[in-house]
Amino acid sequence: MAGLIKSHLDVDVHKKAFEAAMSIFALSRSFPREETYSLTDQIRRASRSVCGNFAEA
């Protein structure tokens, strides 16, 4: 039976959210150094929370 979902890791939405989070992390490396502990940190945490919230649901 193709397409059997055994965990949240098998769902396309989770895979795409994870890929987006990794892209956001890579892009945020180019942000100004003075933003490291405010804007950059907040954006990184928000992008990771999508995967976490999906897994929790």
> Could you read off the pLDDT of 4-54 as tens digits, one per residue?
888 888 888 888 989 999 999 999 888 888 877 788 889 999 998 988 888
Predicted TM-score (pTM) of this structure: 0.72
Query: In this structure, is the dihedral angle defined by the CA atoms of residues 28, 39, 13 and 6, taken in order, positive or negative?
Result: positive
Return the domain boundaries, the chain.
8-56
Written as one string, the DSSP assignment of 1-57 is -TT---SGGGSHHHHHHHHHHHHHHHHHTTS-GGGIIIIIHHHHHHHHHHHHHHHH-
